[in-house]
Structure 1
Amino acid sequence: MNKRKRPGSAGQKPSGLEDRNRGPRGQGGAHSQPRGPQRGHKGGGDEGFLYGFHAVSAALRNPVRRAQRLLLTRNAEAELASQGLSLGKDLPIQAEILGGDEIAALLPPGAVHQGIALKVTPLPELTVDEACDGASRVVVLDQVTDPHNFGAILRSAAVFGAGALITTDRNSPPLGGVLAKAASGGLEKVRIAKVTNLVRAIDELKDLGFEVIGLDGEGEVSLPEFKTGPKTALVLGAEGAGLRRLTREHCDVLARLPASGEMRSLNVSNAAAVALYELARRA
């Protein structure tokens, strides 16, 4: 296994990752330092509702979810049946047939619900060891706060075979409707562990045999040229700010994505998709 340790430095170098709404280094005024949820806060402002076909159908098929209330329009009922989930036969709960406006009134303003919403219990809280059981690729997020970015990363993780995601308990978004819609079913497919101390979690990953690769715009090696071991943890930093100093210092290696154009950075979710594809390609 090719392992290299990067020496620590007093300051952070640019990560090469940008927020979807901000430039590098979190430029964006009041939005540059969002406040994350407190420990155990999972529902968010949407009262536990997931919405949209991919998010809801994946939750209905997830045995660890308990459905509490299913809302459907008639068109959505027909669409669910076409996916093999028929009312009174395949669904774990009795559905309520409502109009689209009635469903919208129970969701956050602007939620694109596609005529379907499901109120669910939170996902079970997992330890790092439990989340990573059987996984060969893991994603670690260092205070990624935007739910759309977080959800898109979950979707890429599900597509490219990352079995687990580790994130900070504070300064990460609720695992609710907005994130689930962006994840397009990935929230139900990838096991998630929320931790208090990310550095300690990285050490746990190393104890489990994972090689920890931090994605950094100024990493000393190019990810496509770096020979990885059989178990890999990919660490991505916050939108704009990148990896924190202690996180960088605890990675086995810092790797960069090759860039040939005038622009040198990617949105964090796009960078995750490219890096996860590269890791899956060589598996």
Structure 2
Amino acid sequence: MTHDNDASAWFGDAQRLVQLRECDDWDLVLGNGPVVATAIHDGHRMRRSLLPHLAIDEADRRRDEDPFTGMLTSVGDVRLRVRNSRFQVDLNRPRDKALSTDPADTWGIRFWKGPLPEEERALSLSAHDRFYAMMTALVDALVARWGCVLLLDIHSYNYRRDGADADPADPARNPDIELGVTTLDASRWGDTARRFAEVLRQAPVAGRAPDVRNNVRYPTGGHFPEWVYAKWGDRVCTISPEYKKIHMDEWTGQLDIAALEDFRDGLEHAVAAVRGGFLP
């Protein structure tokens, strides 16, 4: 019998980390290095048994997911993309809020027709448990190998919530790239975070320098980076890039490939600029 919180149940560590257990909840690529890139809100898949309980259509649900963020994880040595929709289970929220049917927890939008059957809740929350058990094993193994880890918790956000033809949100409160750095240890990683932001500002997006700022829209951060900091402290430097959806039309879902590639190029340069601080 294996134990989910045991690193040896998930990963083997010979000359390089190898995966011992497959899981349909996510795509995981293990490279040899200290940089982890995750896209935990990229997924759109919804369990068939949940569909009758949804109060919104597929397009509306996709609008509040983070499509294409999985493509940005290519900058990591370790790359993780979650396949399931954040509304099936939200891995960036604590367990008791991970499958909320209260519109107050979902920007005032009613995603569910009402309370969900207990068996559906249990299935979703088991995926939340599985993810955090796997991440415990993964980060433990990486910290043991490298001493410290750079974790990029990649997201995107809407800035045209008032409608496809309405004015976009005020750019003063909506940077092109927001860096969530609420849970990194500033005494150890403050210079790293500053250098990371500097390099992002130098990488043009759609022909102009991007507006890159810290903790503007989400000053308190999310549960996932908070959990990481509580477990590993200054051994993990977590930066949460939130990309304004200027790389796509958030109402039609149409992708601007060039803009997304610009975002990825900038992220690659930023990682390269700070990577040395995570090597033995």
Higher relative contact order (CA 8 A, sep 6+): 1
Q: Which has the higher helix share?
A: 2
Q: TM-score, normalised by structure 2?
A: 0.24
